[in-house]
Amino acid sequence: MKNLLIPALLASSLILLGGCASTQSSSSAQAKADETSAQMAVFQTSYDNAALALKTASSVGGEWRDTGKMMKQAKAAAEAGDFAKAEKLIEAAKFQAEMGYQQAMAQKNAGPHY
């Protein structure tokens, strides 16, 4: 009877330890998924702000050449998980949109004066 009890205890211990290990890795995966989701939410807010600035610049003819291209690159970087690059690109795009608007407004009366 003792000969059967020891292997049974050993097997049940291994099963319990295996269950604990899988719980830790799944909680780690869940934490990573939560972090990625939070980073994507922050990026989406930045993207929406830049899109609004670009729309405002476009409404007065002040959209700069590469702003839309930068926004597409930022979106692709975020979808690939490179949030540092995505934030850098989206901030640059927002800056360009804001400066394009300011430039268009400052130069709205520009032209030849005869």
Is 28 within the bounds of a domain? no
CA of residue 10 relative to chain centroid, distance: 47
Domain count of the fold of the chain: 1
The reported pTM is 0.71
- Checking if the pLDDT of 19 tops 60, the result is no
Q: What is the extent of the structural domain holding 59?
A: 42-106
Question: 48 or 4, which is more confident?
Answer: 48
Is 57 within the bounds of a domain? yes
Is 73 within the bounds of a domain? yes
- Rounded Cα distance between 50 and 93, Å, is 7
Is 55 within the bounds of a domain? yes
Is 102 within the bounds of a domain? yes
Q: How does residue 13 score in pLDDT terms, banded at 50, 70 and 90?
A: low
> Per residue in 38-61, pLDDT tens?
999 999 999 999 999 999 999 999
Is 93 within the bounds of a domain? yes
Burial class (CB in 10 A: 0-12, 13-18, 19+), 106: exposed
CA of residue 85 relative to chain centroid, distance: 9
